[in-house]
A and B are shown apart, each in its own frame.
Chain A
Amino acid sequence: MKIEFEHLQAAHCENGVTTNLLRSAGAEKLTEPLAFGIGSGLFYVQLPFLVINNGPAIAFRTMPGLIFKRTCDALGIPVFRKKFSSKEAGKKYLDECLAAGQPVGAQVGVYYLTYFPKEYRFHFNAHNMIVFGKEDDRYLISDPVMETPTSLTEYELERVRFAKGAFAPRGQIYYPKEKKIITDEQMAKAIVKGIKRNVNHMIRIPGNIAGVKGIAGTGKKIKKWKANLGDEKAGLYLAQLVRMQEEIGTGGGGFRYIYGAFLQESHAFHPIDELLDISKIFTEAGDKWRTAAVQAAGIYKGRIGSQADYDVMGDYLIEISEIEKKAFQALSKIKWNS
């Protein structure tokens, strides 16, 4: 069976799944930037003491699953979500959904995701895709980071749905429970809610690990990496920072651009010109993230690597922290009409 479903490629998997599932449930005006903004997707955190893949644990976006949850909540769309204790139960439930014509979001691990190139297959368990049908024992898959729909065998899908380790998906599937027409007024309210929450997360979390202060915190740490870690490890740490920033279907710089696009699109629902001005500040932040990535690459390619080069790198992040602080402070001062 094949469910009528429109595949749309996105920059980030969860944005894409959220947008595509909710559009087919009636939120026709939802786009990737709007879903990202309403879900307060922009974030920054460097978790202290934690090491992932032998490098620093840094995230440029909010926790997996939250963009979908918050967007549904803000638009008043009830969500069905289920994890499974056995593979058989997980498959049975999925098949029933598909038989009933319901496309479902699925959380999967990418290590065994056969259509991904080997270079990208780490034990990362918070990837998202939509399963929208089954033909000849192959599940039809809409993976938002891919240009076109793809498919997986029963075994392949089971293996990625029941991947193990951190954020183990345990077969998790989710979908909007009912179709609803979402009005412009609802969209407008959801946008305000998303922006206000994102302001809180970026400039009002105490401590120095999260939000704009976290970015500056990492900047300060980077200046010590050469002396504390040695050239080889410091280079690997910088490479990890860039990979987290520009990983497949994500992007630290990229997320800033998506947020810029979100503010522009919000202008259609809230004709407040500050939104357009603040959008430009996010573009500036995204550009600076890219400049920082180029500097980092200079170091890990071995082209440069003096302490002064690490200082420049650290200062870029401190500058970015200031730029994003300015942007979120401006957003916090907007007078919303509704």
Chain B
Amino acid sequence: MKKEEIPQDDGALNKLTKEVVYAVDGSGKYSSELSTGWDVKTKALDLAWEDIEKRIEAARQKVLNNEASPILYFLELRLMDMGILAAYTGFWKWTIKSHLKPAAFKKLSEQKLQKYADAFNVSVEELKTMKVHED
């Protein structure tokens, strides 16, 4: 990539910092330069987020239809998978799987609910209602 070809598009990172890229000058010599972003990359990231939003909404619907417990919604909202949630809560994956059923979720002790709430960085009330107050 030549210096003058370094993309200087808007991107999510642009609000925060420029990125270092390596490019060659007219004589073919490399040096490090700054880039504000590249729309090819920005669009890839946007697409990933659109997919995440869809998953969150689908999970919310499932909870509202009583097909899943709010844990599913927060798994998607917090971009977690079973492995990550198991690590944060200390529960086994199969335990979490059973808690994804609405009936099992309703029977959870306050203590266990608190563990999930902590892992998702919400209150127990927010965990139960899926109403999250965030900045």
Contacts and interface: CB of A to CB of B under 8 A. Distances in A.
Nearest to A53: B48
Contacts of B23: 257
Interface residues on B, range: 35 or more
Interface of A: 9-11, 32-33, 53-54, 111, 115-120, 122-123, 145-148, 164-166, 168, 235-236, 238-240, 242-243, 246, 248-249, 251, 253-254, 257-258, 260-261, 264-265, 279-280, 283, 286-287, 290, 293-294, 296-297, 300-301
- Which 3 residue pairs are nearest across A and B when measured between Cβ atoms? A164-B87, A261-B30, A119-B12
Contact of B16 (A117, A164, A165): A117
B15 A117 contact: yes
Given A116-B16, A117-B15, A254 B88 contact: no
A123 B79 contact: yes
A253 B21 CA distance: 10
Contacts of A10: 20
B32 interface: yes
23 contacts: A11-B19, A11-B20, A11-B21, A11-B22, A11-B32, A32-B32, A33-B30, A117-B16, A123-B79, A166-B83, A236-B47, A236-B51, A239-B44, A239-B47, A240-B44, A243-B41, A243-B48, A261-B32, A279-B30, A280-B28, A283-B1, A293-B41, A297-B40
A257 B23 CA distance: 7
B19 A290 contact: no
- Considering residues B22, B38, B83, which has the most beta carbons from chain A within 10 angstroms of its beta carbon? B22
A233 to B, nearest CB: 9
A243 B45 contact: yes
B21 A254 contact: yes
A123 B76 CA distance: 12
A292 to B, nearest CB: 10
A251 B44 CA distance: 13
A257 to B, nearest CB: 4
Contacts of B30: 33, 257, 260-261, 264-265, 279
